[in-house]
Amino acid sequence: MKLITAVIKPFKLDDVREALSQIGVQGITVTEVKGFGRQKGHTELYRGAEYVVDFLPKIKLEVAVKADLVDQTIEAIAGAAQTGKIGDGKIFVTSLEQIIRIRTGETGESAI
Amino acid sequence: MENEIFQLQYALDTFYFLVCGALVMWMAAGFAMLEAGLVRSKNTVEILTKNVTLFAVACTMYMVCGYAIMYGGDYLLSSITGDGVAGAEEPATYAPSADFFFQVVFVATAKSIVSGAVAERMKLFAFLAFAVVMTGFIYPMEGSWTWGGNDVFGVYNLGDLGFLDFAGSGIVHMAGAAAALAGVIMVGSRKGKYGPNGEVHAFPGANLPLATLGTFILWLGWFGFNGGSVLATASVESANAVAVVFMNTNAAAAGGCLAALVTAKFLFGKADLTMALNGCLAGLVAITAGPDTPTALLATAFGAIGGVLVVFSIVTLDKLKIDDPVGAISVHGVVGLLGLLLVPVTNGDASFSGQIIGALTIFGWVFGVSLVVFGAIKAVMGLRVSEEEEYEGSDLSECGMEAYPEFTQ
């Protein structure tokens, strides 16, 4: 089992969600985050005082999948989230040691 | 028949007075929303608490002794009965309780100017302790020398010198700003606001929709503030005056808003909503000393001067390391003085020298006594929250609750 974490542009969330449900992914967790990669920030003025806007709003989504669905999931996310412009985001794949469904107590792949 | 007409006049004037007083009371909501929108979220509950309670303190202290100090009469309003004022020389043309009601909301307005300037670092109860003195003594004293018509410590009389302040640019707004300046100097700037090499760091406000709502509420309430200061409406003459005042008050706000927006765009490259909001208020303050005599075009121009001035003042105060999160000192103090000085331009009953002497008297008294009182409070209970409390936010340290709680059930 793998945990796929993706940081994407906020307005791409609906497209990514659509693409994921089309390949059979049933659950995702979404958080509003801020961050930057190589995309630099810029300065703004508030009542004459400068402040640096380093951190840009992004959406982080996390989805747990069986190992054999990983490549399709990556393709779905990347395809839906890409704009070609700077700041599109990143996808991280990590190993999931254990999953438990709280309601029933199921573990492992049947808990996905 | 004559008696019936008098009764009708009395009733209408009283009604008008009361409605205008209610509109000025509504300005308290305006200040509360404006300030809540311009501070950071971790300090929102505290500033809202300050705004609600200072209003209550003002109403109570002015009843206890403030009104008596300002206009004579007995303490605790004991000389005002439901039927009239005991021992009054002439029959009143409106109910005396209405006079108190109209005056008390002005006191609260002057006091609420201070809350924004000292936001995010002054202890709540230290602020309220000052509110007791300001509304019970400091403001009524300078009010007695101006609208009260008394000599200043028996030495000179502002009215005789040609001082004229229709609705209170100086008496209410500049006075509030003088107290605010004293408070800001005594409490110090927020941690991290100014850098060692003169850098000014931005602390953006948490809720600009609230700030905008607050500004519009103040704009509406100001019609009562200036309109009610005509003191009557039940005759052709006074009704005309009321209409002119409403029209000019509105025109000045519009002029101030546009001028501030254009100035901000010119200085900063983009429109700054908070400057535009301050500009509306600056326009309103600028016309408050004399909304009855200019033409609508001149009123717009006066407001516009206020709008330009307020933007430069806000930037300058930051350069001087006078930390004012909402621009209260600039809007009410700097432009309050402007408002006073604009009166002789269209009103021959006022003189520039009279306005200046009045301004110096009001500012000197309020600023000086406020410094002393803030100093005394500082010595007795401390003015400022601790550094850690300031970092965490005064909502948690002073009030024990969050304004925008997340993770609730």
Whether the predicted pLDDT of B320 surpasses 90? yes
Residues of A with CB under 8 A from a CB of B: 44-51
**Which residue of A47, A51, A53, A54 to mutate against B (max B Cβ within 10 Å)?**
A47
* pLDDT tens readout for residues A12-70: 999 999 999 999 998 999 999 999 888 777 889 999 999 888 888 999 999 999 999 99
Of B202, B269, B327, which is closest to A46 when you measure between CB atoms?
B202
Q: Indicate yes or no: CB of A51 within 8 angstroms of CB of B327.
A: no
Decide which of B198 and B407 is more confident: B198
Q: Any chain A CB within 8 A of the CB of B201?
A: yes
pTM of the predicted model, to two decimals?
Answer: 0.91
Compute chain B's Rg from CA coordinates.
Answer: 21
- Closest Cα in chain A, distance from residue B318 (Å): 9
Q: Indicate yes or no: CB of A48 within 8 angstroms of CB of B318.
A: yes
- Closest Cα in chain A, distance from residue B251 (Å): 24
Classify residue B195 as left (phi > 0), alpha (psi -120 to 50) or beta. beta
Which DSSP string corresponds to B303-367?
HHHHHHHHHHHHHHHHHTT---TT-HIIIIIIHHHHHHHHHHHH-TT--HHHHHHHHHHHHHHHH
**Which residue of B203, B268, B331 to mutate against A (max A Cβ within 10 Å)?**
B268
Tokens of B74: 């007995």
Q: How far apart are CA B252 and CA B169, in angstroms?
A: 13
Q: Any chain A CB within 8 A of the CB of B153?
A: no
How are strands ordered across the β-sheet holding A56-65?
A29-35, A56-65, A2-8, A89-95
Q: Indicate yes or no: CB of A46 within 8 angstroms of CB of B315.
A: no
CB-CB neighbors (< 8 A) of A48 in chain B:
200, 267-268, 314-315, 318
* pLDDT tens readout for residues B152-204: 998 999 999 999 999 999 999 999 999 999 999 999 999 999 999 889 999 99
Q: Indicate yes or no: CB of B275 within 8 angstroms of CB of A46.
A: no
CB-CB neighbors (< 8 A) of B271 in chain A:
none
Q: How far apart are CA B142 and CA B187, in angstroms?
A: 24
* pLDDT tens readout for residues B350-361: 999 999 999 999
What confidence category does residue B78 fall into, taking pLDDT thresholds of 50, 70 and 90? confident
